[in-house]
Amino acid sequence: MESVKNKFLRYIKTTSTSDSTSEKIPSSQGQFELANMLKRELENMGLSNVKLDNNCYLTAEIPSNTEKTIPVIGFIAHLDTSPDMPAVNVKAKITENYNGGDIVLNPEKNIILSPKDFPELKKYIGQSLITTDGTTLLGADDKAGIAEIMTVAEFLTENDSIKHGTIKIGFTPDEEIGRGADYFDVQKFGAQYAFTIDGGEIGELEYENFNAATAQIKFTGRNVHPGTAKNQMINAVRIAIEFDQLLPGLERPETTEGYQGFFHLAHLSGDVESANSNYLIRDHDKLKFEAKKKKILDARDKINQNYGKIIVEADIQDNYKNMKEMIEPVFHIVNIAEKAMLDADVIPKIQPIRGGTDGARLSFMGLPCPNIFTGGHNFHSRFEYISVQSMEKSVEVILNIVKGFNETEIEINII
């Protein structure tokens, strides 16, 4: 068998960055290139029903090897990497037996991965860390998840020692730009439960995520010569600043953690005549989430009232919901994953996702999907890294989940 490390190192060589400005499905051709590579590998492994559709959803099936009635389960990862950083010509660097000090990613550009900035590095002393040269993403989000699922698939097809029911595999496009579940056919996929392999640090087990919305705010100003501007000019950029100051100052990503929600000013552009801002609205609590959306509208109304006319317009669109309400009725699947970690000598870290995954939307589409760690850190950043040993533990945990469903008496629902 090819190691999970070597699979990962191969996959990151294919550029599969998604593109939020594209209306194509998928948003980038590189995702199809990676999907076709994986399709060939799955076929060579001997999996059944290997299919890649026109929207770049790749699915496959490992047939049951037991007469026991076991729920059909799935494992899902996404093909794309974040557009926040380039991922072209990724140059992987492997630091063996990490000593706990600085890792010089790029001496020419003085790019250093340091425990002074990222203290969690100290957890990996003695392990093998994979990084880049600091000029690109590594792509562990989510090519590590892909490599781990592919390693499990290869193991199960070559070894009959683990008894299991039918196992489904799914690789989706455009997760990073919020479109990963848009054309996912839950009914056709045919699993009763699934797990997204899209988490970070070893031990992460997540079944809660943010409720999410996006607010597009448009500001209309009036430009006149600054020498005669008194009582006439309306500076749209300053109105945008005024609008931001009406929102709670401590409810920002840089000042919140855990279950605390936030308003994230992700984009601001404009001039005196017009300006636009984009906010990400996030909260785990449904009532607090609705209250946050109302604060956006209240800020809009207050400014319009002060100026006596409409100079601020707000368009709020919901993106995804907290999957907790869909997971709790089938919480045994979280218990199985937790035991799978303990059996692999991994300490479970059950915590809310301060973001979202394909699993959040899929859960509301009828496929409950907790999220499992890949082992990566610093996603969407030039300082991204992953421990080889964490990847190996992820493979072990996935195999233990497969064992867990075989060992647990679970009612089978008709899909």
Q: Let me know if residue 413 belongs to a domain.
A: no
For the segment 185-200, the average pLDDT, to the nearest whole number, is 97
121 with 31, same domain: the answer is yes
Greater confidence, 37 or 359?
A: 37
For the segment 193-215, the average pLDDT, to the nearest whole number, is 96
Q: Let me know if residue 415 belongs to a domain.
A: no
Per-residue confidence at 413, pLDDT binned at 50, 70, 90? Answer: very low
Of 304, 320, 336, which residue is a domain's last? Answer: 320
Q: Let me know if residue 202 belongs to a domain.
A: yes
pTM here?
0.88
For the segment 350-367, the average pLDDT, to the nearest whole number, is 90
190 with 168, same domain: the answer is yes
pLDDT in the model for residue 407: 86
pLDDT in the model for residue 358: 86
91 with 195, same domain: the answer is yes
Contact 385, 131 (CB under 8 A): yes
115 with 128, same domain: the answer is yes
Of 320, 350, 384, which residue is a domain's last? Answer: 320
Whole domain around residue 97: which residue ranges? 4-208+322-407
**Widest Cα–Cα separation across the chain:** 85
251 with 385, same domain: the answer is no
183 with 55, same domain: the answer is yes
pLDDT in the model for residue 153: 98
Asked whether residue 414 carries a pLDDT value surpassing 90, the answer given is no
Distance CA 24, CA 330 (A): 36
Per-residue confidence at 369, pLDDT binned at 50, 70, 90? Answer: very high
Q: Let me know if residue 153 belongs to a domain.
A: yes
Q: Let me know if residue 414 belongs to a domain.
A: no
pLDDT in the model for residue 273: 97
Asked whether residue 411 carries a pLDDT value surpassing 70, the answer given is no
Q: Let me know if residue 113 belongs to a domain.
A: yes
pLDDT in tens, 70-83: 999 999 999 999 99
Q: Let me know if residue 172 belongs to a domain.
A: yes
300 with 379, same domain: the answer is no
The question of whether 175 is a catalytic residue gets the answer yes
pLDDT in the model for residue 103: 98
259 with 333, same domain: the answer is no
Contact 359, 196 (CB under 8 A): yes
pLDDT in the model for residue 319: 87
Of 303, 320, 337, which residue is a domain's last? Answer: 320
276 with 360, same domain: the answer is no
Asked whether residue 408 carries a pLDDT value surpassing 90, the answer given is no
56 with 85, same domain: the answer is yes
- Cα–Cα distances (Å) from 262 to 182, 314, 322, 355, 401, in that order, read 25, 18, 15, 11, 34
pLDDT in the model for residue 415: 34
The total domain count for the chain is 2
For the segment 164-191, the average pLDDT, to the nearest whole number, is 95
53 with 126, same domain: the answer is yes
Q: Let me know if residue 412 belongs to a domain.
A: no
Asked whether residue 412 carries a pLDDT value surpassing 70, the answer given is no
- For residue 257, the domain's CATH number is 3.30.70.360
The question of whether 80 is a catalytic residue gets the answer yes
Distance CA 397, CA 152 (A): 10
Continuous segment of H or E residues that includes residue 406: helix 388-407
Q: Where are the beta strands (DSSP E) in 132-243?
A: 167-172, 193-199, 204-206, 211-220
Instruction: Kindly name the residue from 19, 80, 142, 206 that is annotated as catalytic.
Output: 80
Per-residue confidence at 409, pLDDT binned at 50, 70, 90? Answer: low
pLDDT in the model for residue 35: 98
Instruction: Kindly name the residue from 142, 174, 175, 384 that is annotated as catalytic.
Output: 175
Distance CA 209, CA 322 (A): 5
Instruction: Name the phi and psi angles at 194, rounded to 5.
Output: -150, 165
- Whether the link from the prior residue into 26 is cis, omega within 30° of 0, is yes
Distance CA 154, CA 45 (A): 6
114 with 155, same domain: the answer is yes
- For residue 363, the domain's CATH number is 3.40.630.10
Percent of the chain residues topping a pLDDT of 90: 94
pLDDT in tens, 101-120: 999 999 999 999 999 999 99
